[in-house]
Amino acid sequence: RGFDFILACVHLIFGDEKEDRTEEMRHLHGMLDALQRACGSSERDIILVGDFNLAPKDCPWIGAGDWVPIVPATAPTTIFGSSYDNIWIPSNGTLSNGEWTGKSGVEMVDHEFFPATANEEYSTESALTARRECSSVLSDHRPVWATFKSRIDDDGGTISGVDNAIQDAVLET
């Protein structure tokens, strides 16, 4: 057996106010806690990916230490300079047991397909035009990635039987 995991992909609302996003992150944290309780020791590796519409530093549960963002904060994940996309892993599972290799990042696909976006001067007309075109044709978000060791399994659990736990966790929140 190798590394098994649960992958949850989310897209939080942008909303009218930052507080809207912060509140949604609080609810998401409750769902993750419920999911971990429902899975028990059968599955400790839950990976949360997505567009959070908040930088990790603005996440209301960043200081709790139970979930860790692993995409470098220095790499903007949108072509307009925000760091809204990330990968979060539990500190007492995937992070602590060595399954995450410590490698993660952001693919600057806009630089490849729209080279003018590589201009660090966001205010130049050519860079802004290229960013708008990239946003329209491709996306305003850059792909995020992380590598994991596939031969390590710390929990010895199986994914079968976890489906009901996931459903129960979602209903609980």
In a domain, 87, yes or no: yes
In a domain, 19, yes or no: yes
Task: Give the total residue count for the chain.
Answer: 173
- CATH number reported for the structural domain that contains residue 72 in this entry: 3.60.10.10
CA distance 39 to 18: 32
Please name which of 134, 125, 131, 32 lies closest in space to residue 81, comparing C-alpha atoms: 131
Query: What pLDDT score does 124 carry?
Result: 75
Give me the tens of pLDDT residue by residue for the chain, a chain 173 residues long: 677 788 889 999 888 888 888 889 888 888 888 888 888 777 778 899 999 999 999 988 876 778 899 999 888 999 888 999 999 998 877 666 778 899 999 999 888 888 888 766 666 788 888 888 989 998 999 999 999 887 766 665 554 555 555 555 455 44
Query: What pLDDT score does 173 carry?
Result: 43
In a domain, 106, yes or no: yes
Furthest-apart CA atoms within the chain: distance in Å: 55
In a domain, 83, yes or no: yes
In a domain, 154, yes or no: no
In a domain, 13, yes or no: yes
In a domain, 158, yes or no: no
Structural domains counted in the chain: 1
In a domain, 172, yes or no: no
Query: What pLDDT score does 156 carry?
Result: 59
Q: What are the tens digits of pLDDT across the range 136-157?
A: 998 999 999 999 887 766 665 5
Task: For residue 138, give its domain range.
Answer: 6-149
E strands present in 52-126: 67-69, 85-90, 100-106
Query: What pLDDT score does 75 carry?
Result: 86
Residue whose tokens read 């903007």: 76
